[in-house]
Structure 1
């Protein structure tokens, strides 16, 4: 269970963890996002010349009933990804 910056809750399930490829895959089971069938993979790619890292975050999902695909995409990017990436960046800075 995760808590969003607005105190909303997200219930997720880890479905894959690949240490060798620095990747994890999870599904959202319940959240305030207007999506269904959400499955996502995050992967960290090393950047050798700077000793940094590059994060890719890929997801597939459908818009929940009563919502347009654009509403679903906007909600995922603005309500989930943007705050999570900002918090990760702040934690690692």
Structure 2
């Protein structure tokens, strides 16, 4: 099992960040490489289309609005991994009252090495968090 975590500090209150990213269908609102998200099964499944037309299907595994966190698994995607579980969390920095957003994942590489799979998802998470920073600054 491989894991990676990316995080970012944002000069924005956690409630405001969560308002933007806390919905399971809200990726298109802040992640430019995911222009489409369609919810199904009562909001538990999201069907994403990336900017190249690729399809990703994910299942909401856990959601805690008060703790500002949710976890999801991948049911279908063009990624070389299995057993994928990711968690997106908005935390409050106790020193500033602002936000720290953490995006982490665990997965089993399939046909590639751990380091390559970790690099792939770390880049996805880091790029996504930078896109979040740009969206909130706009």
TM-score range with shorter-chain normalisation? Answer: 0.7 to 0.9
Q: Going by fraction, where is strand more abundant, 1 or 2?
A: 1
Q: Distance in 2 between matches of 1:9 and 1:82?
A: 21
TM-score (structure 1 length as normaliser): 0.82
Unaligned runs of 5+ in 2: 1-46
After superposing on structure 2, the runs of 4+ consecutive aligned residues of structure 1 that deviate more than 4 Å are none
Q: Distance in 2 between matches of 1:54 and 1:76?
A: 19
Residue 97 of structure 2 corresponds to residue 51 of structure 1: yes
Unaligned runs of 5+ in 1: none
Higher relative contact order (CA 8 A, sep 6+): 2
TM-score (structure 2 length as normaliser): 0.58
Q: 2:128 aligns with which of 80, 84, 93?
A: 84
- The CA deviation string for residues 12-70 of structure 1, in whole angstroms up to 9 with x for no partner, is 11111001211101001122221111001111111244332001222111001x21111
Structure 2 equivalent of residue 38 of structure 1: 84
Count matched residues.
91
Cα displacement (A) at 1:6: 4.1
